[in-house]
Structure 1
Amino acid sequence: MIRVLIVDDQQLVRAGLRMLCESTSDMTVVGQADNGRDAVRLAEQFVPDVVLMDLRMPGMDGITATKRILDIRPVTRILVLTTFDDDDHVYPALTAGACGFLAKDVAPADLITAVRRAATGESPFSPAVLRRLVDRAVTTTTQPAPPEPDLTAREREVLTLVGAGMSNAQIGENLHVGITTVKTHVANLMVKTRCDNRVRLAVLAVRLGLVPP
């Protein structure tokens, strides 16, 4: 059973997320908070597997709450819910340790899938959010393109598909391999490229010319 903590300052949003999570057979909502301070307290009290985290809240914001929760319990997976005007907050949340980002207009089925992926160690991103993160990183960097790492042909294919915003399941379907194999390739890519998350892998794929900017 996936233990979920919901953090959002809007009561209607919290109610909708709770109803959605509890409509499944493998999730239970262990707590709800409308601010970052309560989120930290409830995360310590109820030990959730996944936190659905809003970014902009009164008092302690979601970025600070993310960092403090992960200081207390580093294995917690924090999945940020963001709006299109949250771009200035998304990078700090990534730096604070958030494992993934979903746009608030995400389809209900996609949100449920993302929670499950986060719980198993993946980093789910709404394609639009990942694209904005990559575009911002590519357009603001002043560093020359890095030398291409020593990758196998299959790792290069996986890196290309990560850069295109595909999930591990989508990559597996595209390459006709199992999801465990994809996870192994992604882990190897992170080691070889020294990219510690999926966003940095996607940025590298664009900067290497594997996917169009």
Structure 2
Amino acid sequence: MKMNRSVKIVFADDSDIHHFLLESLMSKFVRLQLLIKAKDGEELLHDLSEIQEIPDVAILDLHMPNMDGLSAAKDLLLRFPFVKIYGFTSSSDEKEKEAMLSSGFYKVFPKNKLRELLTELSELP
């Protein structure tokens, strides 16, 4: 099966380094289209209300100012029930990861595995 459809991504993380890394790595994955990158969940949801596109995937950091990843995921799933939400966290706390998964996150990746996360997204149908 040939996969040409782009995977539309929104990204929220309060780290400038991770914004830079995401943009650098995304150029290697032609199917991935970055719709929005935001510093927190509140900014992400605001920016989403300004565009006409529906994301396929959201990548959310757990700990962010103003609105954390858990709260943003809850709002995202209400608005876009079919969006796949991937956690992106430096937390090694298993209880936090479990909370993410039980809140509707599809999968959780550690921040040092961004390339692996993007590889998985590029292989989505």
C-alpha distance in 2, partners of 1:107/1:29?
14
Partner of 1:100: 107
Greater mean deviation of Cα atoms: 55-64 or 91-100: 91-100
Structure 1 residue 91 and structure 2 residue 119: aligned?
A: no
Greater mean deviation of Cα atoms: 21-30 or 71-80: 21-30
CA RMSD of aligned residues (A): 1.8
Structure 1 residue 112 and structure 2 residue 118: aligned?
A: yes
C-alpha distance in 1, partners of 2:71/2:120?
22
Bigger relative contact order (CA 8 A; separation at least 6): 2
Deviation at 1:30, TM superposition (A): 0.8
Structure 1 residue 67 and structure 2 residue 74: aligned?
A: yes
Q: Percent identity?
A: 24
Tell me, which stretches of 5 or more residues in structure 2 are unaligned? Answer: 1-5
Q: Which one-letter code corresponds to 2:74 in the other structure?
A: K
Instruction: Give matches, 1:157-168, under 5 Å.
Output: none
Partner of 1:37: 42
Deviation at 1:42, TM superposition (A): 3.0
Tell me, which stretches of 5 or more residues in structure 1 are unaligned? Answer: 121-213
TM-score of the pair, normalised by structure 1: 0.51
Aligned length in residues: 118
C-alpha distance in 2, partners of 1:95/1:8?
20
Instruction: Give matches, 1:149-164, under 5 Å.
Output: none
Give 1 or 2: higher strand fraction.
Answer: 2
Q: Which has the larger radius of gyration?
A: 1
TM-score of the pair, normalised by structure 2: 0.83
Partner of 2:22: 17
1:164-204: per-residue Cα shift (whole Å, max 9, x none)?
A: xxxxxxxxxxxxxxxxxxxxxxxxxxxxxxxxxxxxxxxxx
Distance 1:85 1:14, change over 3 A: same
Deviation at 1:13, TM superposition (A): 0.7
C-alpha distance in 1, partners of 2:14/2:30?
26
C-alpha distance in 1, partners of 2:56/2:114?
22
